[in-house]
Chain A
Amino acid sequence: MNSSASFNYTFPLPNGLHARPASFIEEAVKSYSDSITITNLRNNKEADARSVLSMIASDIALDDPILVKVTGEKAESTLNEFKIFLETEFLTCDEPLAVVENKQQKPLPHMLRSEELQSLRGVSVSPGIARGVPLVLGEPRLTLNPETQDKAEVTEELARFDEARQHLKAQLEHQAETSAGEEKAILKAHLSLLCDEKLVSSISEGITGGLSILSAILKTQEHFTQVLESSSSEYLQERALDIRDLCSKLIVETYGEDSFEKTDCQLMADTVCIASSLAPSQFLSLDRSFLKGLVLEAGGTTSHTVILARSFGIPVMVGVEGARSLAAGGNQVIMDANLGLLVSNPSENVGRFYDLEQSKQERLSQRREKYIDQTAVTLDGHRIEVAANIASAEEAEAAFAQGAEGVGLFRTEMLYMDRTEPPCEEEQFEIYRKALTSANGKPVIIRTMDIGGDKPVDYFNIGNEENPFLGYRAVRLYPEYLNLFHTQLRAILRASQYGQCKIMVPMVATLAEAKWLREVFNSVVEALKVEGVEHNPDVQLGIMLEVPSCAFIIDQLVRYVDFFSIGSNDLTQYLLAADRGNSKVEHLYDSLNPAFLRLLKHVVSEAHKAGAWVGMCGEFAGSPEHLPVLLGLGLDEVSLSAPRILELKEAISQLTLEDSKQILEQALQLETSEEVAELLKGASQKKEAMPILAEHSIIMNADCRSKAEVIKTLVDNLDVNGRASDVFGAEEAIWDREAISPTMLGFGIAIPHCKSDSIAVNSISIMKLAEPILWNEGDQVMTDTVFMLTVRASEAGSVHMQIFAQLARRIMRGAFRDSLAACTSEQELLEFISSELEL
């Protein structure tokens, strides 16, 4: 006998009931014989718990009141079971999403925060700003015409559709099995959409009603995407893409690959290309004189396309879910790969913000230009080589143009990936020769293939591993694939005649491996000699130092290897036993942990004791804020991504080895990485003396149309002149002060000011506006002159403070203001203020 039971529930998941939790529910209720409906009491939409789509369509958001109703023979017991499920397991099915996203995002600067933006955030993998027309690539355009599509008898069409669906299902199941993490979860969500009763019955009913399979799929797609797009949750709106994606797959499965046209990708003007993901060949076919930026919805940061784009210096953002639909509605987009922001149809204010931003970037790179051809040297004359990490021969040239003194890491995995056969000796030889030729005598360290479970390659039969980072990878594969390793060594040794080349092997953990490597290396050299093939026999053989065990056998390793390069990412992960991709333990993955710093110190001093060269090529080497540590350690080289090289060289030129050693010694005694970070922040503030007021701090006749533009322009000017250590923090500090009470004085002068640890040099900045502005709504007087006073946080009672106090008093005197108004040039103004304040 049928009975029914119900209970009330408040929806607990932060992103609402989207595809993933809905498929979780669907999975759970499969075993029940009773029917379950879920009603969203906010909008009275009712959903069937067996249909993912109907659950999504009920538009359930966080904290919505829900009525769960069970009807059937065992209503009471089913209800209890389902209730327990909702209160336990269900709570954990969708946690990571929101947390991870927020953490990685840089906050927006003030001018953008106050605008209404049509925008999305993403992860920057190649910095820069791009503006242009959006072009969505790879958007499937149907070549079939639903009006005229041939169709067979209804029963035959139904059978054909079912076959296609089963086939796609098997395919997705296979993909889901071989994938991991987020991708796996999404594939599973797609799978449950494919098995969704409402979706399947909607298509089947269409076919029964006389439609072709194609029309039935399109009609169903339209129906469900509309439902999703009208949802109030942005997250659910974006899920419409999943439906489209799945329906496209169904169409391809039924009618073949030709169902969709290859998109035309002729670029006619400055363009930002946007795609779900992009094949390298597709990327290379784009006209790079017009290609200003690339936005990918897929999250991978190591794809071929990303690496290529970076080598051409094209800004790239990944993980921008929904970028295609955002761009589809826009005539213009701005992508800011420094902030990780994509804006569609920018307003005039946003456009002006980016004019200012771009002009600042240009001035910054002009300032750093002189370091391109200079070697990196500290104030006290200590040399440290600054090299580039590259992943293709093409990148080498760009890296040297950006100031690299060598290549510290040439990753060669890319040569092996996305192909069915390994590259032959000749092909590799040409690639290595190209890189060495671009280096023009500068050193190039080529790392032999680092292939493993996380970077699968078809012709390496590695299989699925529980934990690829602790598994069968890199040097551990070489004995089994000895021919491939021989081929690579031969190619490098032959190319080594064309420059200063070194060979580096990843993932060495034992002395036996190092010994074995030397034997193989010697045998390859011997073979080349016997064959009479030209090569350089004196190429150095080194290893990556990324497994902690190596740190304790350096004195023994040097019997077989010539140099070391510290792979800080893996070394951190292996030392602290924490996967940084796992949000629950990522806080443990921390290269500023004093234990890690002590390990580094030990490694460098052991290597130097043994007379070996030691560099570092992980992310840790790429941050100017870590410089005192890197210098203090006495590393011979640091290798980082090319766009940051000039910034690092400049920062090196402002530090001394002596200070850096002291700072490192202090850091080694601290207890937490937070304390280390704090210490390093303070250290970066010790800048060389700069006058409190200089001609570069005075801007006459400024074209600023708002208070926000004035503040941004003045703070950017601090940054360009090396007076701010953190431009974002400095601007925030100014706005924090304005929030207490606006700093406009009654006679057309405003004095924005702050005291902040984002300020590197105490500064007085002066701006005279071309056109007066209203500093605040409701001001009686327009503002035409701005004094910005920025003071370092640690300052107290110094000579500089007296100057600020004097200036403040002077501003209140009419005679001073009259003389000020009479100044017409930067020089005149500088002389006047300097004499008034006795500078």
Chain B
Amino acid sequence: MNIIAVTACSTGIAETYMAAEVLERCARTRGHSIKVETQGALGILDALSSQDIESADIAILTNDIAINGNDRFTGLKTFHVSIDDILESPQDIILAIHSES
């Protein structure tokens, strides 16, 4: 499966990157391809291109704070989760989107 994600947290100095890290590791160990865009104190890193979005099966978007460019994902299947959920049980999230798609 082809997953894309955007992570963002309130201070932008820790959890944005932690969540990106666990999503990437978890998805890859289950054989999915993933690209995570981080929106934190470093600005936007690994920005998702329109090609990334077009070829994706599903988008995971964190909902702790509003993310930039939400409208890019119109028409794509999206999955909204909190950063805490990602940090606590990333496997559950990957499993859930797998069974949904």
Residues in chain A within 8 A of chain B (CB atoms): 737, 740-741, 743, 745-746, 751, 753-755, 789, 791, 795-797, 801-802, 804-806, 808-809, 811-813
Contact = CB atoms under 8 A, between A and B. Distances in A.
Given A805-B13, A805-B42, A809-B20, 16 more contacts: A737-B11, A746-B88, A753-B14, A796-B43, A801-B13, A804-B13, A805-B17, A805-B40, A805-B41, A808-B13, A808-B14, A808-B15, A808-B16, A808-B18, A811-B18, A812-B22
Contact of B41 (A740, A795, A806, A812): A795
B14 A812 contact: no
A586 to B, nearest CB: 37
Nearest to B89: A746
Interface string B48-87: 0000000000000000000000000000000000001001
Contacts of A797: 41-43
Nearest to A745: B87
B17 A809 contact: yes
B12 A755 contact: yes
B88 to A, nearest CB: 6
22 contacts: A737-B10, A737-B11, A745-B18, A745-B87, A755-B12, A789-B13, A796-B43, A801-B41, A802-B42, A804-B14, A805-B16, A805-B17, A805-B42, A805-B45, A808-B15, A808-B16, A808-B18, A812-B18, A812-B21, A812-B22, A812-B25, A813-B25
A557 B96 CA distance: 85
A66 to B, nearest CB: 48
A753 B25 CA distance: 24
Mostly, the A contact residues are: mixed
Contacts of B42: 797, 801-802, 805
Contacts of B15: 808
Interface string B17-53: 1101110010000000000001011110100000000
Nearest to B82: A741
B10 A808 contact: no
In the A-B complex, list the 5 residue pairs whose CB atoms are closest, starting with the nearest.
A808-B17, A809-B21, A812-B21, A805-B17, A808-B14
B38 A805 contact: yes
B25 A754 contact: no
B22 to A, nearest CB: 5
Contacts, number: 66
Contacts of B84: 741
Contacts of A791: 11, 13, 41
A808 B40 CA distance: 12
A463 to B, nearest CB: 63
A743 B84 CA distance: 9
Contacts of A755: 11-13, 41
Given A741-B84, A754-B11, A808 B43 contact: no
Interface centre among A740, A745, A746, A809 (most CB of B within 10 A): A809
Contact of A809 (B18, B41, B43): B18
A751 B12 CA distance: 13
Interface of B: 10-18, 20-22, 25, 38, 40-43, 45, 84, 87-88
Contacts of A812: 18, 21-22, 25, 87
Contacts of A741: 84
A708 B77 CA distance: 43
A301 to B, nearest CB: 41
A746 B12 CA distance: 20
A789 B13 CA distance: 8
Contacts of A753: 11, 13-14
B35 to A, nearest CB: 15
A754 B11 CA distance: 7
B23 to A, nearest CB: 10
Contacts of B88: 746
A791 B13 CA distance: 8
A813 B41 contact: no
Contacts of A745: 18, 87
Contacts of A801: 13, 40-42
A770 B16 CA distance: 30
Nearest to B90: A812
Contacts of B14: 743, 751, 753, 789, 804, 808
A107 to B, nearest CB: 22
B86 to A, nearest CB: 10
A797 B13 CA distance: 11
B26 to A, nearest CB: 10
A820 to B, nearest CB: 15
B34 to A, nearest CB: 14
A804 B41 contact: yes
A809 B87 CA distance: 11
A809 B14 CA distance: 8
A443 B16 CA distance: 59
Contacts of B40: 801, 805
Contacts of B13: 753, 755, 789, 791, 801, 804-805, 808
Contacts of A737: 10-11
Interface centre among A754, A755, A795, A804 (most CB of B within 10 A): A804
B63 to A, nearest CB: 13
B81 to A, nearest CB: 13
A771 B11 CA distance: 29
Contacts of A740: 10
A813 B14 CA distance: 14
Given A745-B87, A795-B41, A797-B41, A813 B21 contact: yes
Contacts of B87: 745-746, 812
B48 to A, nearest CB: 18
A802 B40 CA distance: 10
Nearest to B84: A741
Contacts of B17: 804-806, 808-809
A737 B11 CA distance: 8
A789 B41 CA distance: 13
Given A745-B87, A746-B87, A797-B43, A808 B11 contact: no
Contacts of B21: 808-809, 812-813
Nearest to A806: B17
A795 B14 CA distance: 14
A52 to B, nearest CB: 55
A361 to B, nearest CB: 30
A644 B42 CA distance: 39
Contacts of A795: 41
Nearest to A809: B21
B10 to A, nearest CB: 6
Contacts of A802: 42
A795 B43 CA distance: 11
A532 B22 CA distance: 91
Contacts of A743: 14
A361 B10 CA distance: 33
Contacts of A809: 17-18, 20-21
A196 to B, nearest CB: 59
A802 B45 CA distance: 11
Interface centre among A737, A745, A802, A812 (most CB of B within 10 A): A812
Nearest to B41: A801
B89 to A, nearest CB: 8
A442 B16 CA distance: 58
Interface centre among B17, B25, B88 (most CB of A within 10 A): B17
Contacts of B12: 755
A797 B16 CA distance: 14
Interface centre among B22, B41, B84, B87 (most CB of A within 10 A): B41
A466 B17 CA distance: 67
A421 B51 CA distance: 95
A804 B15 CA distance: 10
A801 B84 CA distance: 21
Nearest to A814: B25
A403 B21 CA distance: 52
